Structure 1
Amino acid sequence: MSDLNGATYTSHVQSAQLASGHTYRYIHHPPQPHRHGNEKPTILFLHGFPSSSYDWRYQFEHFASRGYGVLAPDLLGYGGTDKPEDANAYTLKKQTDEVVELLNCAGIGKGGVVSVGHDFHKQLTDTRGSILLSRVVTYYPNLSSKYVFLDIGYSPPPLLLTAKGIDALNAETLATEGYEPSGYWAFFNQTGAGKILNDHQDSFWSVMYTNDDPTYWKTVYGPTGALKAFVEANKRAPTGGFVSVKDNAIHDRIFAADKGGYEPTLNHYRALYRDLNAVDEKVIPTSAANITKPVLLLTATNDPIGTPKRAEQGLRSFAPDLKVQAIDSGHFMMVEQADEVNKAISDFFEG
């Protein structure tokens, strides 16, 4: 756990081995009993890329101090969780089952579960996203009483994030908006892409956590071949005040090459890009696409990849009880605008 030195929640870090044989590291704070005997729910926080449970540090402090239960895993391939090399281990059905098993291992409590997801790979074709939380909805529709999507919207079945779908998306967006949003997928699909990111970790960090998403995500992250060229040249994007030197150091330790680095995390992209979810997706009934519980979507006004328009359009048809709130932020809104995000989520859960 030395990679988390400096984090404020280390006393709440736990691990569990699941039926698959995978061991997960996670943060867990049980809900605190209310004086009237009721409990607040446990909030399941699901991170995206290139992240870990550490990206929820401000949410952990906020919600744990208010009596909520909190469970935030390092997802498969990330942080202190196992990192299988085979991309077949990263299909969405397997991951969703493991996250739910982890909740059961930790103990949910009488207050039930509410779920929050950020990013976790963007299905922009047909304006869809936040895939892992979306499959919690699909496969376990009665698990959570409310859902919160941060920045990226909902991914109803069937998934369209294959190589063919990404190529079509890039071509369409280039023609209509003047830039490719997802050219990095082809790079991430390449064997050895993780080593390139490891070898140029500071350059990659600067692109991901830049304070200028509209410029660098349009010109460096999104266009085909641009990210690889940028990091191999060891260039830097400007980073803002929402991430500190300490945050950078912790991130570097979490993704250190001797702990697996970035290579296993890219298997999430490879499983999607190579259509390894196809068999599972085909048997999902059409009715399972609808979200019957209340949903909050927080959009990031400065994210040119997960645009507010795409995110909202992807939810409107499937979530009749939907609230949308814009946050003046880039992609990592839960870090960049933590207070505003925490208030919005709190108001939604308590409303």
Structure 2
Amino acid sequence: MPKHHRVSINGISLQITEQGEGPLVLLLHGFPETSYSWRHQIQPLAEAGYRVVAPDQRGYGGTNCPEGIDHYTILHLVGDVVGLIHALGERQAVVVGHDWGAMVAWNTALIRPDVVRGVVGISVPPLPRGPVPPMAAARERFGEDFYQVYFQQPHVAEAELSKDIPATLRKVLAGTRKAAGEGAGGFLGPFAEPDVLPGWLTEADLATFAGQFSTSGFTGGLNWYRNLDRNWELTTAWQDAPITPPSLYISGERDAVRGIYHPDFLDNPDEIVPNLRGVVDIPDSGHWTQQERPAEVNKALLDFLSGL
């Protein structure tokens, strides 16, 4: 059975879920999620012979939420992964991430390839450092209403998302997009709350997530977005550097993120990830891939792990 405990690194205390023995596999969640989003992966990977650890990342769930936007840069997030690997008594890990967790995983493999046996990104592919700051690029491509731009305003998104946390998560995780022009503004405006939850998300699952965000709030996770331009500045030294560890990219075919990043990545994957072992498209899956289609994701992960 998975065990829950805490690990102190880099001045914060991480809440982690751990199961199994063998080569270390880290599972990094996205926004707005916690380590609970890996509930369908932890036991199968552990039973296959791996030591599986899923942390609540900085600012989420049972992990500390440091004050100050500048405590959530990509260097802090990568540092947490490296610190966790070492605190667990290991020298290397396979780092698997979904959504924002994928960005942390890719950047860990880029910045500290010595500690990464392999890297898997789910939903978000590796994103090369662009020629201009990300927020300028986002405004030009998507406009001022783009959610990442909206998240830059301190306290605004927090107020919207925290007003009714269960309703927020119901809309974000299971809601459907309204027709263009319908709905109010903000982040939640375009989402219609579902009448019935999809089969992959139970009321108990939703209550678990809601309880976690009722404790942590949303500021920590939102601060990750508020560092996008700062991250661009901090990673100048890695401009055009390839991600060299063995890698895998998994994408849900109905994932909205796929339309933003997926085609650009496939244009020149060899330049970005020269050791790419495969691209796995998961049919009938949206953005919450490892929760929606766990059997397919688990098979892809185990196939990749067995080849390392």
Q: TM-score, normalised by structure 2?
A: 0.88
Mapping of residues 134-145 of structure 1, within 5 Å? 134-145=106-117
3-state SS, counterpart of residue 293 of structure 1: coil
SS in 2 for 1:195: helix
User: Paired residue for 2:204?
Assistant: 246
* CA 299–229 in structure 1, closer or farther in 2 if over 3 Å, else same: closer
Structure 1 residues 224 and 186, CA, compared in 2 at 3 Å: closer, same or farther?
farther
Q: 2:152 is aligned with what amino acid?
A: N
1:313-328 superposed matches below 5 A: 313=267, 315-322=269-276, 323-328=278-283
Question: Is 1:99–2:57 an aligned residue pair?
Answer: no
Higher normalized strand content (fraction of residues): 2
Alignment of 1:290-329 (within 5 A): 290-307=242-259, 308-313=262-267, 315-322=269-276, 323-328=278-283, 329=285
Unaligned runs of 5+ in 2: none
Residue number in structure 1 paired with 2:194: 237
Determine whether 1:63 maps to 2:25.
no
| 1:266 corresponds to 2:222 | yes
1:264 and 1:327 map into 2 onto residues whose CA distance is 30
- CA-to-aligned-CA distance 1:324-344 (integer Å, 9 cap, x gap): 111010001101000111011
2:160 match: 196
What do residues 202-230 of structure 1 show as CA deviations (whole Å, max 9, x unaligned)? 33212321264xx45x8599x99353445
Structure 2 residue 296 is matched with structure 1 residue 340: yes
For 1:1-351, list aligned pairs within 5 A.
Answer: 9=2, 12-18=3-9, 20-31=10-21, 40-108=22-90, 112-120=92-100, 130-157=102-129, 162-170=134-142, 183-192=146-155, 193-210=157-174, 212=176, 215=177, 225-229=185-189, 236-237=193-194, 239-256=197-214, 259-272=215-228, 275-284=229-238, 286=240, 289-307=241-259, 308-313=262-267, 315-322=269-276, 323-328=278-283, 329-351=285-307
Deviations 1:227-262 (A, max 9, x none): 34458xxx5135311100110010010000xx2311
Deviations 1:169-211 (A, max 9, x none): 215xxxxxxxx9x711232222222122111223321232126
Q: Secondary structure at the match of 2:14?
A: strand
Structure 1 moving runs of 4+ over 6 Å: none
Alpha-carbon shift at residue 30 of structure 1 (Å): 4.8
SS of the residue aligned with 1:70?
strand
- Matched pairs, number: 301
Report SS of the residue matched to 1:190. Answer: coil
Separation in 1, partners of 2:213, 2:62: 10
Give the drift of 1:159: 8.0
- For residues 243 and 52 of structure 1, what CA distance do their matches in structure 2 show? 14
Q: How many angstroms apart in 1 are the aligned matches of 2:47 and 2:172?
A: 30
Unaligned runs of 5+ in 1: 1-7, 32-39, 122-129, 172-179
